[in-house]
Amino acid sequence: MWRNWEQMMNMGNHPLFGWGFGIITLWSLFWKGLALWKAARNDERYWYIAILLINTAGILEIAYLFAFAKQKFVLVSDKPKAKSKKK
């Protein structure tokens, strides 16, 4: 663990800190972009503003896409079954 306060405060210099921050940033950017695009397409102005201003590392964006959007986000769509021709 940390031996003193200075050692704990210098954790930002640790190489894994940079990678972790980068991964969280990319994760958040992906979900924020997707949610903003969906909110704009659904003409949901208040959701668009909330998603734009509130940073939650993707949590609010995912909740919007899967629970609150007018048209829910679907990861995999079922292909319609081909109708068989009767002879």
Reported as type and span, the H/E element at residue 75 is none
The whole model's pTM is what? 0.61
pLDDT tens for each residue of 51-87: 999 888 888 888 888 888 877 776 666 666 666 666 5
Domain assignment present for 38: yes
Looking at the 3D structure of the chain, how many domains does it have? Answer: 1
pLDDT tens for each residue of 10-22: 666 667 777 888 8
- Domain limits for position 52: 29-71
Which CB contacts under 8 angstroms, 24+ apart, belong to 18-24?
24/57
Domain assignment present for 20: no
Q: What is the pLDDT of residue 6?
A: 66
**From the CB of residue 62, how many other CB atoms can be counted at a distance below 10 Å?**
15
Domain assignment present for 11: no
Q: What is the pLDDT of residue 85?
A: 62
Domain assignment present for 62: yes
